[in-house]
Structure 1
Amino acid sequence: MKIIVPMAGRGSRLRPHTLTVPKPLIPVAGQPIVHRLVKDIAKVLDQPIEEIAFILGDPAFFGNDVVTSLKELATSLGAKAAIYRQYQPLGTGHAIMCAKDSLSGPAVIAYADTLIRADFNLDPTADAVIWVKQVDQPEAYGVVKLNAQMEIVELVEKPKDFISDLAVIGIYYFKDVNVLKQELQYVLDNNIIHGGEYQINDGIKGMMAKGKVFKTGEVAEWMDCGNKAVTVETNTRMLGFIKADGDENMVAPSVKLENSTIIEPCFIGENVILKNATIGPNVSIGNNCNISESTIKNSLIQTHSTIKNANFDEAMIGNHVQYDGKFKTVSIGDYSVLE
């Protein structure tokens, strides 16, 4: 089994946090988004992962540190890493074809901007599976249309009239991903463009037209990391899941407490100092932070930041931030100073 991860986007909706760090590398509940996504997929696939292919953007932004991190992730799962580049933002189908040398055999394709909780039971009668989630406002999503046999027969983007309430979440399984590769090559060769881009949906529609059977897989939870508000919410939800699972150490043993209280669930990284602080619930703090005279809940703080006199709720703080103030709901990017 292979996992293909297109992650070349800059994450503009999550600025300022993505001005210096690619969105898939933003930590949620103590781990980068892409690390959590790939680990969760590998865990529920219940079969060996041969290769993980990552499609990155320009090396000027997705540099050597990103490549090293992703190679270490693949190695930790017993897989080899393949690194590809998408130098122009030409769509989801184009991104996948940037990894065409890895497009063979069974594979999961997962876009690295969401987190999930799911049971990946692969239907042996299906040529492909598209994971979906029931939503309240299907007109805001791409949805699937099913026939009487519960097979996917159509993909509809943001339907004005009701088609179904099963939204496509951006995770796919292909029994032989080479079939998708052939269809996407046809899309590229014939310049089939929607919204100015080459789309994975056009490759999937080509497969359907040739009789390939698509089934749905459903996720219990689908958590977005598209902007600051939903990323903070996703951090809260992931902390709850991790605490319930009980399989991760959520507070590092090197944390130093001085007249401070931690209200679970929280993730607190290595070498964090807490002085006269109340932390939690639902707070993630990265390594080497120093927090004093503060009350923080429902917030996400990255690494090497110094926080004083804060009363945070639903805040998102970047790396190497220095903060001393009275604001409550804030979003502060890397290397900012507010005193």
Structure 2
Amino acid sequence: MSLKAVVMAGGKGTRLRPITYSIPKPLVPIAGKPCVSYLMDSFYDAGIKDAIVTTGYKFESLINGIIEAKKPDQNVLFSVEREPAGTAGSVKLISNFIDDTIVVGSGDILYDFDIKSIIDFHKKKNASVTIVLTRVDDPSQFGIVDLKDDVITRFLEKPAAGEAFSNIVNAGIYVIEPEVLKYIDKIPFDFAKELFPRLMRHGTPIYGYLGNGTWLDTGRPNDLIKGNQIMVNKYGFKYDSKNITGKNIIKTTSDLSDDIIDSSYIGTNLQIGKNTVIKGSAIYNGVVLGNNVHIEDSIIMDASRIMDNTVIKKSVIMRNCVIGEDSEIIESVISPDLDLHGKSRVYNVSLASKIITDEQV
């Protein structure tokens, strides 16, 4: 018998389109790592080396990405769902592999929690279910809870204006004992909407634990940018250079002496011209930046080329794009493999390289 982790990674990430047309949401990079890696590393740091990943959408890419990113001694099984099974249903499908406490988390949310303290709390309470909670400024997009003496007394999903009784929300990490799975009697089945209310009706106490660490729902492009900034600030270093300010993660060996770098992630094998400014951004591997380029609060993914005198702010440029000289990209998403002519002006839009329907994904 051994404690296992379950990573739910089957969603399509519709709010992140067009980014998720080409990459599963759990693999979208944040400060140099796939989003799901932060969760899996948190499990690993808590001593959990066995994980089961439930997946469906773009499962081949997801499997390859997780195998590449996992620790060498981390054991991962994959459960591929041909049809969506729901959050709880996906765990029910793998119940034959569960013989002890499991810790369940969503692979498309940025977590960097102390998982061991959560498990210790769960064991101390002799709980059947513990839900990890976090506080947010705006609870309208989440499931909120009432908490009394560490026990959850009620739930409300996505409260409308005036309905919110709390700013404490379900963070999407659950510690669960195997006997709870018997209450999942159909597929699909949802944790928050079906299983937890059913347990409360049966008198099973559901404990709540306020998580200690980073939590961010990376549901929209600006959330990815924010997540990058949070993790760079958490894991970056201060460099002894007058032109490199704030905390940064810098992998490249390129000469940055003619450029200004501030609070950013800088990948490998870059070509960076003179007088380029990078602030609060992530620049990934193989990117080419021309002279006098200004990139702020943005993400530039692998192998893209940004030509001279171009300004990019609050935007995501995906892999293998070319942005011509003297262009301006503001609050936009540029899909992979797009070639924009010089002097382009792109504001508040998502540009896709082709039309992709739900039937094709």
Q: TM-score under structure 1 normalisation?
A: 0.85
Change (3 A) 1:243 1:249: closer
Report if the CA contact (8 A) 2:145-2:170 is conserved: yes
Provide the residue aligned with 1:194 in structure 2. Answer: none
State how many pairs are aligned.
318
CA displacement 1:210-264 (0-9 Å, x = unmatched):
4443322223432121111221122112211112699x99212x43236632423
- 1:264 counterpart (254, 262, 275): 262
Q: State the 1:153 CA deviation.
A: 2.9
Matched, 1:82 2:77: yes
Please name the residue that 1:192 is paired with: none
Cα 1:57–1:289, aligned 2, differ >3 Å: closer, same or farther? same
SS across alignment from 1:233? helix
Q: Which residue of 2 aligns with 1:168?
A: 170
Q: Are the counterparts in 2 of residues 3 and 52 from structure 1 also a CA contact under 8 Å?
A: yes
Are 1:118 and 1:218, in contact at CA under 8 Å, matched by a contact in 2? no
Runs (4 or more) in structure 1 with deviation over 4 Å come to none
Aligned mate of 1:204, from 196, 210, 231? 196
* 2: CA distance, partners of 1:212 / 1:85: 31
**Aligned residue number for residue 87 of structure 2:** 92
Deviation track 1:180-236 (CA, whole Å, cap 9, x = no partner) reads: 32121x244xxxxxxxx5211322333344444332222343212111122112211
Contact 2:44 2:74 in 1 (8 A): no
* 2:234 maps to 1:234: no
Do structure 1's residue 101 and structure 2's residue 96 form an aligned pair?
yes
In the TM superposition, residue 106 of structure 1 has moved relative to its aligned partner by: 1.7
Unaligned runs of 5+ in 2: 240-246, 342-361
Query: 1:88-141, CA deviations, whole angstroms, 9 ceiling, x for partnerless residues?
Result: 234222222333333331221111222134334231113322111222333432
Tell me which of 280, 283, 286 is aligned to 1:285: 283
Is the 2:38–2:112 Cα contact (8 Å) retained in structure 1? no
SS in 2 for 1:163: coil
Question: What per-residue deviation string (whole Å, max 9, x for no partner) do you get for residues 257-299 of structure 1?
Answer: 3663242322111211111242432211111111112111211
Q: What's the counterpart of residue 193 of structure 1? A: none
Partner in structure 2 of residue 315 of structure 1: 315
DSSP 3-state at the match of 1:319 = coil
Task: Using CA pairs under 8 Å that are at least 6 residues apart, name the structure with larger relative contact order, 1 or 2.
Answer: 1
**Cα distance in 2, alignment partners of residues 37 and 244 from structure 1:** 22
Does the 8 Å CA contact 1:129/1:214 hold for their aligned counterparts? yes
Cα 1:4–1:315 change in 2 (3 A) is same
Q: Conserved in 2, the CA contact under 8 Å of 1:259 and 1:277?
A: no
State the identity as a percent: 22
Q: What is aligned with 2:20? A: 18
Going from structure 1 to structure 2, the CA distance change for 1:250 and 1:105 (only over 3 Å counts) comes to same
Two-structure CA RMSD over aligned residues (Å): 2.5
Give TM-score, length-normalised by structure 2. 0.80
Contact map agreement 1:110 1:171 (CA 8 A) in 2: yes
Superposed, 1:1-339 pairs within 5 Å as: 1-43=3-45, 45=46, 48-58=47-57, 61-63=58-60, 65-76=61-72, 78-120=73-115, 121=117, 122-123=120-121, 124-125=124-125, 126-147=127-148, 149-160=149-160, 161-174=163-176, 176=177, 178-184=178-184, 186-188=185-187, 198-201=189-192, 202-219=194-211, 220-243=213-236, 250-252=249-251, 254-257=252-255, 260-293=258-291, 294-309=293-308, 310-324=310-324, 325-329=326-330, 330-339=332-341
CA contact (8 A) 1:291 1:307 kept: yes
- Relative to structure 1, the CA distance from residue 279 to residue 141 in structure 2 (aligned partners, 3 Å threshold; closer, same or farther) is same
* Structure 1 gaps, min length 5: 189-196
